[in-house]
């Protein structure tokens, strides 16, 4: 989109000051995001997003979810001493028609957030403090939303982390072979098929009523938490997929992007490793905020999420590759395949470390619960 078109879009929102500059921003795979710099000192900068309506098919319901979630978070924080709701919760800017998004004549949907200044998001985690703070941010997010009625939220993408449904879509993609690429990926297909049954455990436990559905974030990539200039947790962002889910999904997706020091799409598979110090730090932060509310079964399910989420992401990237790259933005022709291979390697490395993963989770939850009991005495 050229700047003049973006300015036209921005004219529908109740912005303060004047627009000095608009530039592409962030590294997301779904939406188009722009940084909007204000030309007037003292007026805020903004973040403009064109919402991908091929992925989010019902934008009004999606935006209703985000309005509910941000309002709930803000109300909760307002009652907490020391909290800073304006810095800790995303704020949507209204249009002149008092709506949270603008639908243009070309069928595109747009929204604007206030830019949270002096924040950073990390595609790759650099040290345990960042990991710990990220764990706290995502954990606190779940804890604050625990009393939002899940029936009030819409499923913005049905069956988003349902691996059984993802496996069915994968089998269909193989059968249809629309891009003629199935012949290139026999090893990756075998990798998926070998693990398909084991990876369905969370779905099964859910069906059997052993895991509660909660309001979960469902896209807890580490770069979806903003840290402040001291690397302290500030705000969880990217709220499009907040909907009912299992806590292991949020834990697993965050671990996927925390413990691997290589990029999500690393081509050199030998660079994909698991940093157990980062794992421990994230887990400590996450369970500090959540161990009081989680059931024993949920705590035990967290390690299942640790291998499931990179598996699901690899499966989705591979399915998109086989389908001919319709879903994710790609930067080169084999990008989705490279992403899938990197995620599958991560699954393997995590499987090799699974006992340490389980032990670390149990230890962290036991010590946080003991601490809580002591505080209550």
Residues near ligand ADP (CB under 6 A): 25-26, 28, 30-31, 33, 47, 90, 113, 115-116, 119, 121, 223-224, 226, 237-238
Question: Taking the CA of residue 10 as centre, how many other CA atoms within 13 Å lie in the half-sphere pointing to its CB?
Answer: 28
Instruction: Decide if residue 220 touches Mg ion (CB under 5 A).
Output: no
Identified binder of Mg ion from the candidate list 65, 156, 218, 224, rule CB under 5 A:
224
- Distance, CA of 46 to CA of 98 (rounded, Å): 17
User: Which letter, b or e, does each residue of 106-122 get, where b requires 16 or more Cβ atoms within 10 Å of its Cβ?
Assistant: eebbbbbbebbeeeebb
| One character per residue 302-341, x = contact with ligand GN1 (rule: CB under 6 A) | -----------x----------------------------
Q: Which is nearer to ligand GN1, 28 or 44 (CB)?
A: 28
**Do 343 and 313 contact (CB within 8 A), yes or no?**
yes
Q: Which is nearer to ligand ADP, 47 or 302 (CB)?
A: 47
CA distances 179 to 112, 192, 305, 320, 336, Å, are 36, 19, 31, 10, 13
Cβ-closest residue to ligand ADP?
28
CB of 260 to ligand GN1, least distance (A): 12
Instruction: Decide if residue 253 touches Mg ion (CB under 5 A).
Output: no
Instruction: Decide if residue 49 touches Mg ion (CB under 5 A).
Output: no
- Distance, CA of 157 to CA of 62 (rounded, Å): 9
* Partner that binds at residue 264, options ligand GN1, ligand ADP, Mg ion, none, CB closer than 5 to 8 Å by kind: ligand GN1
Identified binder of ligand GN1 from the candidate list 38, 68, 95, 241, rule CB under 6 A:
241
* Partner that binds at residue 303, options Mg ion, ligand GN1, ligand ADP, none, CB closer than 5 to 8 Å by kind: none
Identified binder of ligand GN1 from the candidate list 6, 19, 30, 137, rule CB under 6 A:
30
Positive or negative, the CA dihedral 31, 32, 37, 43 is negative
Q: Taking contact as CB under 6 A, which single stretch among the options 16-24, 27-35, 61-69, 176-184 is the one that binds ligand GN1?
A: 27-35
Residues between 5 and 34 that touch Mg ion (CB under 5 A): 28
* Partner that binds at residue 119, options Mg ion, ligand GN1, ligand ADP, none, CB closer than 5 to 8 Å by kind: ligand ADP
Instruction: Decide if residue 266 touches Mg ion (CB under 5 A).
Output: no
Using DSSP bridges, classify how beta strands 214-216 and 109-114 pair: parallel, antiparallel or unpaired: unpaired
* Partner that binds at residue 44, options Mg ion, ligand GN1, ligand ADP, none, CB closer than 5 to 8 Å by kind: none
Instruction: Decide if residue 154 touches ligand GN1 (CB under 6 A).
Output: no
Q: Which is nearer to ligand ADP, 35 or 262 (CB)?
A: 35
Q: Which is nearer to ligand GN1, 30 or 247 (CB)?
A: 30
CB atoms within 10 A of CB 256: 27
- Distance, CA of 305 to CA of 254 (rounded, Å): 10
Identified binder of Mg ion from the candidate list 238, 253, 266, 289, rule CB under 5 A:
238
Count Cβ atoms within 10 A of the Cβ of residue 183 and give its class: 0-12 exposed, 13-18 middle, 19 or more buried: exposed
- Chain contacts with ligand GN1 (rule: CB under 6 A): 28-30, 55, 219, 221, 224, 238, 240-241, 264, 313
- Chain contacts with Mg ion (rule: CB under 5 A): 28, 224, 238
């Amino acid at each position: 989109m050229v700047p003049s078109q973006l300015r036209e879009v921005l004219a529908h929102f109740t912005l303060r000051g004047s627009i000095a500059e608009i530039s592409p921003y962030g590294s997301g795979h779904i939406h188009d995001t722009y940084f909007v710099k204000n030309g007037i000192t003292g007026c805020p900068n903004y973040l403009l997003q064109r919402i991908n309506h091929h992925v989010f098919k019902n934008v009004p319901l999606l935006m209703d979810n985000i309005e509910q979630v941000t309002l709930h978070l803000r109300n909760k924080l307002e009652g907490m001493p020391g909290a800073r709701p304006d810095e800790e919760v995303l704020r949507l800017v209204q249009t002149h028609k008092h709506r949270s998004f603008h639908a243009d004549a070309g069928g595109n949907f747009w929204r604007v957030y206030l830019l949270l200044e002096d924040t950073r998001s990390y595609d790759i985690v650099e040290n345990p403090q960042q990991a710990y703070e990220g764990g706290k941010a995502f954990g606190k997010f779940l804890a604050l939303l625990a009393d939002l009625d899940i029936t009030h939220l819409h499923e913005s993408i049905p069956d988003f982390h349902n691996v059984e449904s993802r496996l069915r879509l994968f089998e269909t993609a193989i059968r249809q072979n629309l891009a003629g690429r199935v012949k290139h990926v026999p090893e990756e297909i075998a990798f998926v098929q070998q693990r398909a049954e084991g990876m369905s455990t969370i779905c099964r436990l859910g069906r059997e009523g052993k895991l509660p559905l909660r309001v979960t974030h469902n896209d807890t990539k580490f770069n979806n938490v903003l840290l402040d200039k001291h690397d302290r947790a500030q705000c969880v962002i990217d709220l499009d997929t907040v909907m009912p889910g299992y806590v292991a999904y949020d834990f697993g997706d965050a671990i996927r992007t925390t413990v691997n020091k290589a990029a999500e799409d690393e081509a050199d598979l030998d660079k994909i490793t698991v940093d157990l110090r980062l794992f421990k730090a994230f887990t400590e932060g996450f369970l500090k905020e959540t161990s009081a509310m989680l059931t024993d079964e949920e705590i035990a399910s967290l390690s299942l999420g640790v291998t499931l989420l990179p598996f699901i992401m690899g499966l989705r990237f591979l399915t998109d590759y086989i389908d001919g790259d319709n879903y994710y933005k790609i930067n080169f022709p084999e990008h989705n395949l490279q992403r899938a291979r990197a995620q599958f390697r991560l699954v393997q490395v995590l499987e090799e470390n699974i006992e340490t993963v389980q032990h670390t989770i149990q230890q962290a939850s036991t010590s946080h619960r003991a601490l809580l009991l002591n505080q209550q005495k």
